[in-house]
Amino acid sequence: MFEGTRLSNAITRWFSEKRTRGIEFSYRFTGLESKNLSWHFCSLIGVLVEISSLGKGTLLKLHDLHFVALKLRDAAAIYSRVETTRAQVAELKGICEQYFSAVQLLLERMNPTVWSIGYAVPYHMKDLYDMLGYGLGLNSMEGREAKHIKLKNYVNNTCNGRKQLRWAIAFRHEFVSLLWLREADPCYTSTKNKLVSYIPKLVQNGDCLTCNCGLGKSAAEVGCKLCTSRVMRMIKQSVELVKVTDALHVTANHPLPCCSPSQENPQENNE
């Protein structure tokens, strides 16, 4: 189950207060909440596409968002790693390029963050791997603000040395407390789960009843209803060709096949 209380409150506040003033929704994910969304975004989209009153343009956009979110999840699962392989570095380049192309062609919401994920992240990932043999997770910003506050307190409480030596003493204290003591103490055990990934556990384990996106499917099916739909196949083809195909243009002007025939609005066929 997706637990996103902070996200839910932020959406509610934006919808009731900021949306009417033309302010775009903005939210900063922290901690495990980002992983929770990467595990369950497909369930949220799967619920929305079943709403019979949605317009065909909205349904197409939901398919686009599903594809983009899946690529972003797979990319984050690689570039957040510390230990990686050259094959994963090469795979990241292709995933990020597909993410960038999908946003550019289908969502038309280009910004510096999208460009950075599409091109800067795989470039720096390869550069760091060639130089040190590690991934971008080595330079993680997780918990950086709390660490800076802690270091500042160390400096303020350091009074047994000259002012220009305070930072050296603070970083020595940090090294001793975080590294040296843990290596020297044979009874120390880490309580942090280092194996938490952006990809759901059932997908990692290759469960035959789970699609690559995380939605359920039968054992005989290749993927879920959303990933194997005709619209999704056309989206993948457009991203591969780096242009919106004629078939996808036509689909944007006709009812989408993601819903059952009973859910489609027959009045839209006469428009």
The per-residue pLDDT for range 208-227, each reduced to its tens digit, is: 999 999 888 988 988 898 89
pLDDT at 94: 95
The per-residue pLDDT for range 151-183, each reduced to its tens digit, is: 667 666 666 556 677 777 777 777 777 667 767
Query: Helices 86-102 & 230-241, crossing angle to 10 degrees?
Result: 110
Section 192-199 average pLDDT = 67
pLDDT at 120: 94
Phi/psi for 82 (5° steps) reads -90, -50
Round to whole Å and give the CA distance between 217 and 207: 10
The 10 Å CB-count burial string (b at 16+, else e) for 13-33 is ebeeeeeeeeeeeeeeeeeeb
The per-residue pLDDT for range 96-147, each reduced to its tens digit, is: 999 999 999 888 778 898 999 999 999 999 999 999 888 888 776 665 666 6
pLDDT at 266: 40
DSSP 81: -
Round to whole Å and give the CA distance between 119 and 104: 13
Q: Which residue has the higher pLDDT, 16 or 1?
A: 16
Q: Which residue has the higher pLDDT, 13 or 271?
A: 13
Is the pLDDT at 196 greater than 80? The verdict is no
* Token pair in block for residue 203: 């997908």
pLDDT at 195: 55
pLDDT at 38: 87
pLDDT at 72: 93
Burial of 62 (0-12, 13-18, 19+ CB in 10 A): buried
Round to whole Å and give the CA distance between 150 and 144: 10
**Nearest CA-CA partner of 70 in 234, 193, 235, 205:** 235
Q: Which residue has the higher pLDDT, 109 or 229?
A: 229
Residue with tokens 């062609």: 105
Is the pLDDT at 44 greater than 80? The verdict is yes
pLDDT at 259: 39
The mean pLDDT value of the chain amounts to 80
Round to whole Å and give the CA distance between 212 and 234: 18
The per-residue pLDDT for range 51-102, each reduced to its tens digit, is: 888 877 888 889 999 999 999 999 999 998 888 999 999 999 999 999 999 9
pLDDT at 261: 36
HSE-up (13 A, CA, CB side) for residue 167: 2
**Nearest CA-CA partner of 60 in 102, 24, 117:** 102
**At residue 93, what is the residue type?**
K
Q: Is the pTM of this model over 0.75?
A: no
Section 199-209 average pLDDT = 88
pLDDT at 151: 67
* Token pair in block for residue 52: 């019979």
Non-local (6+) Cβ contacts of 136 within 8 A are: 79, 80, 81, 121, 124, 125, 128
Non-local (6+) Cβ contacts of 167 within 8 A are: 155
The per-residue pLDDT for range 17-29, each reduced to its tens digit, is: 888 788 888 888 7
| C-beta separation of 40 from 46 below 8 A | no
List 216's β-bridge partners, or say none: 210
